[in-house]
Homo-oligomer: A and B are copies of this chain.
């Protein structure tokens, strides 16, 4: 059976930490392109996606508009055997998501860089999400408190959510969907100052 997969999406003012690179309409377009890549990967991995958006989205997928805070909007739809995958995982591949969906555990948690929870699978009614800055440890704790068996799912392709300028370098280097091309068309290119690679933008 296809894994029901919620994909939360900020349709309003996404990717604010990329404001130095992109105008608001460009940030919305980039967010939609990344969402499209995630949708493709989810479907190719055997997932049945539902975009849970803060507002209208023009995308080829079922969309539920819900203006409640993220955690409430997700928990309202978190039946057992549901996955949640963030819309900005521009490195996510069908392979990584297939492995996530197949991982055993009442709660399967894929950590993001900086302590967030980028993807998860829930198979137990007693677990709910509580997204905030460093949600990962709290999700581990809550799952344990609910008596759930827990699987930590460690994959860079799910760990990197696109928030900061440096994240775009990883997308250019390793992205497999349409996002790298969108970035290149927007003039974004790799830049190395001798340390970790980042990006610059030529307009």
Residues of A within 8 A of B (CB): 17, 96, 111, 113-116, 132-134, 136-137, 154-157, 159-160, 163-164, 166, 169-170, 173-174, 190, 192, 194-198
Contact = CB atoms under 8 A, between A and B. Distances in A.
A187 to B, nearest CB: 18
Contact of A157 (B154, B166, B198): B154
B194 A133 contact: yes
A134 B194 contact: no
A192 B135 CA distance: 11
A69 B173 CA distance: 25
B17 A113 contact: no
B163 A133 contact: no
Contacts of A170: 113-115
B174 A134 contact: no
A87 B132 CA distance: 31
The residue in A17, A174, A192, A196 that gathers the most chain B C-beta atoms within 10 A of its C-beta is A196
A137 B195 contact: no
Given A113-B170, A133-B196, A154-B155, 14 more contacts: A96-B154, A111-B156, A113-B156, A113-B166, A114-B173, A114-B196, A115-B173, A115-B190, A115-B196, A134-B169, A134-B190, A134-B197, A137-B173, A156-B159
A86 B160 CA distance: 20
B196 A116 contact: yes
